[in-house]
Amino acid sequence: MPQAFTSKRAAIYQDVPDEKWNDWRWQLSNRLNHVEDISKVISLTESERKALNSSGLFRVDVTPYFISLIDPDDPEDPIRKQIIPTAEELNSFTAMMEDSLAEDRHSPVPGLVHRYPDRVLMLVTTQCASYCRYCTRSRIVGDPGQTFNRQEFEMQLEYIQKTPQIRDVLLSGGDPLVLAPKILEELLSRLREIPHVEIIRIGSRVPVFLPQRITPELCDMLGKYHPLWMNIHVNTPNEISAELEAATDRLTRAGIQLGNQSVLLAGVNDCVHIQRELVQKLVRIRVRPYYLYQCDLVPGAGHFRTPVAKGVEIIEGLRGHTSGYAVPQFIVDAPGGGGKIPVNPNYQLSMSDHKIILRNYEGYITTYEEPLEYKPHDPKTCHACQNKRPEVGQKGITALLDGEQMFIKPEGFDELHNRGGLQHRLKDENKWKPLGIGTEDSSEQKISD
């Protein structure tokens, strides 16, 4: 049997009764965010004290459970670096961008990002159980006064309902699993009522920050809305505890497919041996490594960035050295809204019209002979080609760049579109066309109160 994962509890929490410690509401209400409280758990450095005492810092909050995973006397602890700010966070770095992924530009209604043809990102809260220091959405996340409200949810759902090419909806934020259970279930049930929504996904770090939240009741509720997928966010092997293993076990037994998205962070996990241990432990708890992200160009996170070549090196050190399903894709989320771009080691050395020269992970070079005759399928007679799903394509989201709008303008949009930093920088805000892309109906679509 593999060695069992362990539980840890910081010394200050040793006398907390188990019924409180294992209560997710207790964990949330006892999060640490002030230098005085955090210093009771770990020995802070001068750099950390300076950052924690600074004004204008991105929100600090950490659950008692998660801070207990830190070695209190190790300033280089990889979990510590993710959640405890340092003075480096106060520095400005070149190439940093407030909205590096251009999500605002692809947001037709508040909180909804439509960047790809068949799927949308639905931001449902600005709150998290704890806050990562490299947060991509630090421009909107963390402010309890700037979260999304019911009117904005209605706008998001109406847009999805009126856009038939959307087959995949990703709930994110913030973290959807910190929503009140009734609100989360209402959103899931409303999405399931839309016939063309095939897949619902949830992006969450709650199983990692707050595994106590993954209760049997929550899993039973989530299990009613299949097919439902969830990507969690584990960056280092140190984060995989007995509590996380129990949480993923409950989720997978509820039929929820789990993947992991990690971020490549300097001094945290920029090591092929750490990454190999991480992915192998993830598959042990039935979580498939999905993406390894290059750190985004987020203000205050410049000290976490690595060269892209480091990510390629790590994938090179995983491919062939561990199971194929344990190797994530290395992704650069292109600045300016270019989307996710996979970056891989070069295994194809050359290609001609009749053969390809390839190498394997050991450096072994081989030749693959191309077929002498190839009769491709005919798109004109192909059933799949003739009945393909309508694409957003050139007349959809990319039309934003040309100033041509294919989105609805819901009631109250003018008052709400700046909420949470989601600023819609449109060339002509009066140029609104029907939501049904490609239709001839020119009547303006609205959401009633």
Catalytic sites, residue numbers: 115-116, 119, 128, 132, 135, 137, 296, 333, 340
Asked if 301 and 341 count as a contact pair (C-beta separation under 8 A), the reply is no
Do 104 and 112 touch, CB atoms closer than 8 A? Answer: no
CA distance 224 to 181: 14
Contacts of 445 by beta carbon, 8 Å cutoff, 6+ apart: 158, 162, 408, 434, 435, 436
Report how far residue 37's alpha carbon sits from residue 356's, in angstroms, rounded to the nearest whole number. Answer: 61
- Nearest CA to 270 out of 313, 213, 233 is that of 313
DSSP track, 109-155: BTTEEEEETTEEEEE--S--SS--TT-TTTTTTT-GGG---HHHHHH
**DSSP string covering 248-269:** HHHHHHTT-EEEEEEEE-TTTT
The gap from C-alpha 280 to its chain's centroid, in whole angstroms, comes to 21
User: Can you tell me whether residue 201 is helix, strand or coil?
Assistant: strand
3-class DSSP state of 168: strand
Burial, 389: exposed, middle or buried (Cβ in 10 Å; 0-12, 13-18, 19+)?
A: exposed
